[in-house]
């Protein structure tokens, strides 16, 4: 009998994760196409968006850093912008630390796969074994599709256009909402910090750069430590 703590293996458990991940993978590939094409069209060499996607691997941070470079900013300003927007993954990493495995190499590569979508998809699973399998299946697939899209877009130039014209830029937030809702229904204590974080992010969106509202939403986390007005 398989222990519930072991990661599911075989085509049966993996196939549903691939099926459920496919929409996000497709959207990621299209956004990657746009990132690669816009970077090269702005004057950057092909290797810059490709290398950035392999090493940095953070969509919003990459778009912001390239935006700074194309606007005439230096590499230090671009790197600082990307780092600021990507600091939210530190909190995400704490949430999935037990899913990465005991080995140093697995934990290092797993930490590189941490994204908003990967964490949301993993934590939406009902037990530790399925969360671990979901994290790796979704994370590796997303990494592969994103980088393939960036490479294709960089080689194709501007011929592909902007995915925002087709509404595909809304695919990520829509999928994240769908992943988070079951958890909010099951755990009433999560609703207060989630609502507070969402309100803070929405209020700040018109006034701050892209990505910063997500960081501000983390201010809702202290509300999770209160039950009946008493801090736990």
Same domain, 81 and 131: yes
Region of poorest pLDDT, from 2-6, 53-57, 195-199, 207-211: 2-6
Do 141 and 26 fall within a single domain?
Answer: yes
Q: Report the percentage of the chain scoring pLDDT > 90.
A: 7
Residues 191 and 165 in one domain: no
Residue 175 domain-assigned (yes or no): no
Give the tens place of pLDDT for each residue, 47-100. Answer: 988 998 998 888 777 877 787 777 777 777 777 767 777 776 777 777 787 888
Q: Report the greatest alpha carbon distance in the chain.
A: 61
pLDDT at residue 43 in the model? 80
Asked if residue 177 is part of any domain, the answer here is no
The terminus-to-terminus CA distance of the chain in angstroms comes to 38
Q: Same domain, yes or no, for 135 and 232?
A: no
Q: State yes or no: pLDDT of 145 exceeds 90.
A: yes
- A 10 A CB-CB count for 58 gives 24
Instruction: Indicate whether 114 and 195 sit together in one domain.
Output: no
Q: How many structural domains is the chain composed of?
A: 2
Mean local confidence (pLDDT), 178-194: 73
100 and 203 together in one domain: no
Mean pLDDT, rounded, for 189-205? 84
For 22-56, the pLDDT digits (tens) are 888 888 888 888 888 888 877 888 898 899 899 88
- What pLDDT is recorded for position 140? 92
Residues 6+ positions from 26 with CB-CB distance below 8 Å: 145, 171
Q: Are residues 34 and 65 in the same domain?
A: yes
The reply to whether 215 falls in a domain is yes
Query: Residue 212's domain spans which residues?
Result: 187-232
Both 155 and 226 in one domain: the answer is: no
**What average pLDDT does range 206-221 have in this prediction?**
73
pTM: 0.66
Alpha-carbon gap, residue 232 to 222, rounded angstroms? 10
In a domain, 4, yes or no: no
DSSP assignment of 22-67, as one string?
Answer: HHHHHHHHHHHHHHHHHHHHTT--THHHHHHHHHT--HHHHHHHHH
Does residue 7 belong to any structural domain of this protein?
Answer: no
pLDDT tens-digit series, residues 169-180: 555 566 566 656
């Amino acid at each position: 009998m398989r222990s519930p703590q072991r990661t599911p293996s075989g085509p049966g458990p993996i196939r549903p994760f691939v099926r459920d991940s496919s929409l996000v993978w497709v959207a990621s590939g299209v956004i990657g196409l746009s990132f690669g094409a816009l970077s090269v069209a702005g004057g950057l060499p092909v290797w810059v968006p490709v290398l950035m996607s392999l090493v940095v691997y953070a969509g919003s941070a990459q778009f912001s850093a390239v935006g700074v470079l194309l606007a005439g900013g230096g590499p230090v300003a671009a790197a600082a912008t990307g780092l600021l927007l990507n600091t939210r993954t530190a909190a995400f990493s704490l949430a999935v630390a037990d899913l990465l495995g005991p080995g140093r190499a697995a934990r290092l590569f797993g930490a590189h796969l941490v994204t908003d979508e990967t964490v949301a998809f993993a934590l939406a699973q009902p037990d530790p074994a399925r969360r671990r399998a979901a994290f790796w299946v979704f994370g590796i697939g997303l990494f592969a599709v994103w980088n393939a899209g960036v490479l294709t877009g960089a080689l194709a130039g501007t011929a592909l256009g902007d995915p925002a014209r087709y509404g595909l830029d809304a695919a990520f937030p829509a999928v994240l909402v769908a992943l988070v809702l079951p958890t909010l229904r099951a755990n009433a204590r999560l609703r207060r910090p989630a609502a507070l974080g969402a309100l803070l992010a929405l209020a700040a969106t018109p006034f701050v750069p892209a990505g910063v509202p997500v960081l501000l939403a983390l201010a809702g986390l202290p509300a999770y430590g209160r039950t009946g007005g008493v801090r736990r």
